[in-house]
Structure 1
Amino acid sequence: FKTLKKSVLNKHQLKHSNSRQYKCDFKNCNQAYKHERHLNDHKNSVHLNVRYVCDWSECDKQFICKYYLNRHKSTVHLKERKFKCNEENCGKRFTTKPGLIGHKLRHSGDKPFVCHFNDCDKRFKSNVDLTRHKNSIHLNAKFVCDWSECKQTFNLKTNLNRHKSSVHLNDRKFKCNEENCCKSFVSKQDLKRHKSGVHLNERLIKCNEDNCGKCFNTKSDLNRHKSNVHLNVRKFKCNEDNCGKCFNTKSDLNRHKSNVHLNVRKFKCNEDNCGKCFVDKSGLNQHKSCVHLNERKFTCNEENCGKKFSSKGNLNQHKRRHSVLCEGIECENAVNLSMNCNSIDLNSCKISDNIWSSNYKNIHKLGPYYPCLWSDCQYIAVSKSVLIRHRTIHSDEKQFKCDFNDCGKLFKYKHYLHKHKNAIHLTPDVKFICDWSECNKQFKLKELLKRHKTAVHLKIKPFKCDEENCDKLFGYKSNLIKHKRLHTGEKPFACEWVDCNKSFTQKAHYDSHKRIVHLNEKSFICDVENCGKRFSQKPHLTYHKRIHNHIKPFVCDFNDCGKYFRDRTQLVNHKSAVHFKIKYKCNVKNCGKQYTTNNGLAYHKHTHLGEQPFICNSDGCDKSFRQKCLFSIHLKRHNKIKPHKCIANNCDKKFVSKQELKSHLMRIHKIIIN
């Protein structure tokens, strides 16, 4: 530091000393200051309550000294910026000289403030950064929030005050005056950043990396983008056991620790019967606006769309889909990729709006989109994360393993693993019960309960079949896609078993066929004492258990009929035959037989066609049957399986079919069973 005046040098040297010679002489105050003007400011603001009011129209701001008032007028009302940076290609202007000096340090790269604590010798650009460093590293000074049940700690007192005013007092003085905005902010800097980014759409700082060209509001956003996307720098590593994840910023690391390892969720939703907790306040606010207030402020302005979204990110993700559908994409480098407006249908589009966070290296980018380069696959994703999720379809790799009590199940996706843990291991007894009147259905997951309410009780079915003379409505797009296969006759799931060649419209039907017919799996066991029967499907086990418990839950409500049935199919058949008098008539010439069920008519038609589709392939047999039940009884005779046992008078005889058991009881034991 150099100066021409000795008085200025003396004032400057006070910075390097701890002497405070100017003491407040008011009663019980004893505050001391290095400079006389600081003492006068203290007296005017605390003891004398002197305020200098701005006389500019509709301002009325108050200040503790005249210097601050003059600076306010020149910067806010007169827009004076006297101090200009003389560096090449810069020319920025500042209202105060300290602001210009701090800015010049960025050009020169100087760090004049040195930490002399225990030979630390770290250097900083500003005194504030040096103070923060000393408090956090050497002095371990923490400013604790004394608000009830908060106890957050800060390195600087200013950060503590800002935290109190924004979080607890909700003091947001700076309000946005743009039309239909009404947002308010804690600091003026946040308001300026909001205006330039949202309303003015000013993104002046451009990324100069190859083929990037993204623009940002602030330099810090640009640096974060570069370190994350281009340099892939992740300085902050989690030191918890068996974790080792790395993050770009310290705040991301702290959020990860509190969310994953410590499970700290301080922000609780106070809406009726909710009580959900969140890691940060932004998550709580987003939850309130989406779930309770049902706010969807961001509307898609594309023609015939009008979809609404709760966040701007989801809207941008959705808009990219429109641009793919309407503009088309062509690329010589992409494998099997030629899509245009005419070849894509919105209802059958392969482009996903879902978001899935993960990392994948060496992904080929096609403009703002990511095509799948798998052979004969024309999938285009709107983001890298979506493409990563899609690529798991082409592989059988299941990298997410359940580590709960030696379970060892593998899953392709992480959210499938979470669902498995929640449903099987963590909350096996917790059920989400439908509270709709007299429903009381139970679900293992909350999302299944929501889906049930939407489709069954609220009757919300937004997806309509556009085939001629159909107009069926569905609650989910997946159900619409499955239904359309009935019109087109498409059966994409073909059985790969030798000499089978059957195909199915749904994967669930294919898996069921494979398990029952080829693998002969019967994984559902009856746990009733002395039974132990096995079934290939859970509904069959449920029906069987109702026989043990003598339960008939389905009641006929037609004209006070009151008959009970074990399953819904029996109830429907009863209503059709008895009450509605529905008959299925054979249309073969000179026949005209009628049946109460469609299955009965189908079995009857085999007699006209001479078909006996169920053929026994046992050695030296060659018998064939029209009905599957007769074929099953015949197979039991070959295999000497007699599941039906007589328990009357210690008889212990066994029979192949239930009918044989009934006739035995009538002839031998004189017992009649209805």
Structure 2
Amino acid sequence: MTPGTQITSDSDMDTVLEEFKQRHERRNSIGSAKYSCSLPECGATFKRLDQLDRHEYHHTGIKKHACAYEGCDKTYSIVTHLKRHLRSTHERPDATVKKTVKCALEECSKMFISVSNMTRHMRETHESPRVYPCSHCSAKFSQKLKLKRHEIREHTQEYPFTCSKCSRGFYQEWQCQSHEPSCKQYECPGCPKKFDKWSLYTKHCRDTLHGKNRHKCDRCECAFDKPSDLKQHIEVKHKEAKKQEEETSFTCTEEGCGKSYSYLRNLRQHMLTAHSGRRFECQTVDCGRCFSSAQNLAKHLLRDHKDGKVKKDKKPKATESNPRKRRRDAGRSKHSQLSKLACLQLDKEEEEAVREREPLALEKVTQSLQDDPVEELLAQTLQDEEEVD
């Protein structure tokens, strides 16, 4: 029937119903299977794009619709939610729109931007709220995702995504992918346990004494908890092997030297400086210092001739606040009065002994003076001093 034709009989009504049924079937056949799941093992098809987005989000857990505005990091699993965010946040002419519409239920104090948002809130929260009960306990949730997380965390422990290194579970795939690059495991040497934190690993080793095998001896099967214990074990039990290792070091062949080095370059440096007489002289004017190696000469140039001039060491002058330290032998003569009068040349130790008037030293000096007749008077004077003491 053409549009605008009046229905006057039952046959006209049957014709209208038949045409409506045909149009409805044609519309469903044209719009069916418009979107299909991207996972090849799934094969599900959907009429609407938001249905496909919701379905794929349950597969991957990744919100693939991100806001393109600079500084906004919002992401959504359904494209219609992203469009709603753009309209309400970025495309609204007045960005400071406030929530002025209150919930129609007096007990509820929530505010909304528009009447349509308030109507949807009334329908979903107060009139016919969706309740998802837990199949394992009496808990109830308003969202299916919250119910799923509750059942996994509290009851089944079967996470949809797990780390391949530490077997840690995650609700969404992107959480697992961001965790795996930084995942590091510490394996206990005494048991099959693994730890993702060093503090937990060390605490476990202390409590169970499994950490004693961390420092193993490379010459036997012994193992120790501390490096010092391993070092002591090698010195006691493997002394001969250690001695052989030391014999493989590089020893100087010059007579009377006997120095040994762990590296051949150190032995060559020793031969150049100690036995060949090679010295590295500073070429700066008025310096004339010599060094045993080029490295020491370079340090000297950098430290003392940085500006091209000779750097002289200046001792700080004594002041009232910083007085100069007094010497221990200050005010004392370096030679005893006896050696001065007798014109004796004594060693440093003998001078000290005579100054302290030690009996053996005084007796030795007396004997030397008695051998010289000219010094008899001085010897007599020395004997008189001994008797007085």
Q: Do they fold alike, i.e. is TM over 0.5? A: no
Superposition TM-score tier, normalisation by shorter sequence:
0.3 to 0.5
- Flag the structure with larger Rg: 2
**Between Structure 1 and Structure 2, which shows a larger proportion of helix residues?**
2
Q: RCO (CA 8 Å, sep 6+): is it higher in 1 or 2?
A: 2
Give TM-score, length-normalised by structure 1. Answer: 0.22
Give TM-score, length-normalised by structure 2. Answer: 0.34
